[in-house]
Structure 1
């Protein structure tokens, strides 16, 4: 049975991959794997992630994000505004006791995390690829996996996704 779950990449996963393990200058296979997953209809992201990737100098990741290979990789997120508002309600729930800075950071309309979760919940059948670990008792920061759970969105670590959809030398597998 084919896995029909689609995946949304968080900006931190792509940035960390480019800066730490899979720099596009020497590890093109990883980026080809992402492109193959996209062609297979499984790997995507949203406009807010692209904006974060394009912020800064002209580096290999910025060039990758602007490439034609990624046609329709970055989906517009505005349609998920009602879910984003729901996340705002959760974040501002006094019972959760988040510090003001945590709420401000998470609900920044120019940042991707809340929009990524909202889009995944709105469209459905998406799992978010994130480096963040759950910290449900944190008050200084709202972690993406914890906020995703508020609206029943799943998250997965990149290395776990690689176990599912990669073989030798980043060959994409369905």
Structure 2
């Protein structure tokens, strides 16, 4: 496990787990495990993801505020991340594949910042989004990751790579 990269988590990793397969009332140990791996330095996220999560004022937001806030990095304070983010936004905005609304949504959310952080810090992005070479209505994280040679996986592959065991 010591050769594993750092995994930077997209908001959908937290949100889908909380609302579906690892709900707090069904699998509370999942959330303890996430925190434990973050404490060990294997998992992190960024401030923009935190903002997306805590605006909901639900159980996930409370857990995130109280248990995971220390593992969020301030992406805008890192000049290299800001530079990478600008490159990403420039590519997205000039890409004729995506509709203008998709480009605006991407630019206003955390996804570009997650990718930029991973790009600069050699992390692996963890997301449930899938690569789609023909999509127009959304800018998927994997499409951008492929363009910028950033690795990405889903939650379950991350858990396997980190040898996480749920309860």
Q: TM-score, normalised by structure 1?
A: 0.87
Unaligned stretches of 5+ residues in structure 1: none
Distance change (3 Å), C-alpha of 1:168 and 1:151:
closer
Match of 2:132 among 117, 131, 135: 135
Aligned to 2:73: 75
Alignment of 1:148-163 (within 5 A): 148-163=145-160
Q: What root-mean-square deviation, in Å, do the aligned CA atoms of Structure 1 and Structure 2 show?
A: 1.6
Structure 2 segments unaligned to the other structure (5+ residues):
none
**1:50 CA displacement:** 0.4
Deviation of 1:128 after TM superposition, in Å, equals 0.7
Name the residue aligned to 1:31.
31
Deviation at 1:107, TM superposition (A): 0.9
Cross-structure match for 1:45: 45
Partner deviation per Cα, 1:69-105 (whole Å, 9 max, x = no partner): 43531100112111111011111225x4321011111
Moved over 6 A (4+): none
Q: Cα 1:99–1:4, aligned 2, differ >3 Å: closer, same or farther?
A: same
| 1:116-137 deviation line (CA, Å, top 9, x unaligned) | 001111222x001100010022
Number of residue pairs matched?
A: 164
Partner of 1:97: 97
